[in-house]
A and B are shown apart, each in its own frame.
Chain A
Amino acid sequence: MTPPSPVADILLVEDNPQDLELALRALRQAKLTKNIQVARDGAEALEYVFCEGPHTARRMEDAPRVILLDLKLPKIDGLEVLRRIKGDPRTQMIPVVVLTSSQEQRDVGKSYRLGVNGYIVKPVNFEQFVDAVQKLGMYWLLLNHPPISKG
């Protein structure tokens, strides 16, 4: 029997290992690494959110406080992941923030139409990147009042 998946505060969906490591480093510096679930592609992200595959033991109610979602992902891309999460009444209240390299107006527009809660362009500059990730973590984990209070 698989052990129940941990209840995550942040679901970080990122396929690029360097970006992933830098993001984790930034979160670690902000001491926010305690409950982070990482998904390496869109399919993994959806399995986690919808408690499928390796996550069947997880309860839907234990939703992450925020999902940080890259757009360019293998298998299922970020916009599709966003569409499915926001299109399902069980998951549509989970805050999703797009964290991407793309500044394309097309991606920004589509994301907002799909109901994204925030859109952050990853800066090339590491200090700015750290700053952005830390602010994001702080805001969604500490400042923002979540839609579902955890018991």
Chain B
Amino acid sequence: MTRAAGLDGVTEDLSRLMVEAFSNALVVADTRGLIVRVNAAAEHLFGVGRAELIGQPAELFDPNADGSMHRGDGSQVAVEFRNTRLPTPGGDYSVRELRDTANEKTTKTALRESELRYRRLFESAKDGILILDATTGMVVDVNPFLTSLMGFSHAEFLGKAVWELGFFRDQPASERMFSELREKEYMRYENLPLENRDGQAIEVEFVSNVYLVAGRKVIQCNIRDVTARRKTEAAVQELNTRLELRVAERTAQLEAANRELEAFSYSVSHDLRAPLRAMDGFSQAVLEDFGALLPEKGRSYLETIRAGSQQMGSLIDDLLTFSRLSRATAKREHIPTGDLVREVIHILAPDREGRRIDLRIGDLPDCIGDTALLKQVWVNLLSNALKYTRRKDLAVVEIGCQIQKDEPVFYVRDNGTGFDMRYAGKLFGVFQRLHRAEDFEGTGVGLAIVQRIVHRHGGAVWANATVDGGATFCFTLNDSLP
């Protein structure tokens, strides 16, 4: 042997490596047909390690008539099989080569199925899809949605450059678009105006990308019909505009009504009082100038006219105060309640004159609200208390505050005439009175004013009383004013 043994060694190693790396199973058997060598793929195919395979008959790997072989665990596997004789000086060796075709079939099937799935997706998509050759701009494929949307057949699309398709309204622009797309490889139009075969305008959202397929650049365009959406958007927009107009209209009407109301109360304030003053004034003038000429009855009638006009004057004043309350905005001020109450008591000094009154003032926490309005509340409640205790030898008026459910409840309690709780519902209504005018004068607006002010402060007002057993008026104020 003149050949270098070293090289033989290398060849041996190389062939072993190649055999191992081979993806087909290789099984080498000696002259007796017993396995002397297998590769990794053979181990894998048979499902048994080579230590066990060596020395076994190679026929184990021979396929049946149907082309499948039994694996080590008894399961069958479809194979492609080739048996090659390998002559050696000591007799013929055999080399079996096997390929697992089942696996291959599965891959092919999977690929076919996948292709079918995507094809179906493409065919049934509710968006138009257009596939172009990026180099030539020719249409490669188009899905049915786009053909029916545009009114051109599949055949009419194919083999045309995209800008030759009739539906782009502006052909030079679409050609420019195409070259821009080729450059940027991505393009998106929110609102591209197209025209279908019948000349109907269709608005679409147009997105296109460039990607590689087997080394060739392809452009995929997704075209979504947004005509309906645009119409809906336009309708919504129009509705909004109309709504805004209507709101503006109503606001204007409301403002006009408010102005009218203001003008009305202004007029009431100004014009209604002048004739009352004349009635009262001239009745008095008659009494002064001609009183001596009148019989007693005549003078009494004139006094009645005067009393009536004065009562109406008070009614008008109270009503105006009441209506002003709904227009004025309540301020948020920190109010030392005790000081406010003492000030009110001072104001009411004339009502207290010549009377025995036990005035008890308890602890009064500060509050938050509109000083002028809350002053009115205390004036009305306290003057009521003074009025309805007038017939008592000793009037007792108690002013205080109790905490109920974490909330301060202010109250004014008196030992006066009280009222029948059956009529409590009428108490805070405008012009509602629970006493006859000849017993206690009044307009029936005072408590209505109290209620309105308290409500404007987010509070509540209520009363408890018994006939001849005195009355208690309570109110709360919500600290968090609107």
Contact = CB atoms under 8 A, between A and B. Distances in A.
Interface string B269-302: 1110111111011111100000000000000000
Interface in A1-59: 16, 18-19, 22, 25
Contacts of A16: 274
Given A102-B266, A103-B269, A104-B266, A125 B310 contact: yes
Interface in B227-282: 266, 269-271, 273-278, 280-282
Interface residues of B, number: 25
B441 to A, nearest CB: 14
Contacts of A129: 277, 281
Contacts of A72: 270-271
Contacts of B313: 123-125
Query: Main secondary structure on chain B at its contact with chain A?
Result: helix
Contacts of A125: 280, 310, 313
B267 to A, nearest CB: 9
Query: Main secondary structure on chain A at its contact with chain B?
Result: loop
B270 A100 contact: yes
A22 B273 contact: no
Q: How large is the interface on A (under 10, 10 to 19, 20 to 34, 35 or more residues)?
A: 20 to 34
B320 A122 contact: no
A18 B284 contact: no
B306 interface: yes
A126 B273 contact: no
Contacts of B317: 103
Given A103-B320, A125-B313, A126-B285, 14 more contacts: A18-B278, A22-B277, A71-B270, A101-B270, A101-B277, A122-B273, A123-B277, A124-B276, A124-B280, A124-B309, A124-B316, A125-B280, A126-B284, A126-B306
7 contacts: A101-B270, A101-B277, A102-B270, A103-B269, A105-B324, A124-B273, A124-B313
Interface of B: 266, 269-271, 273-278, 280-285, 306, 309-310, 312-313, 316-317, 320, 324
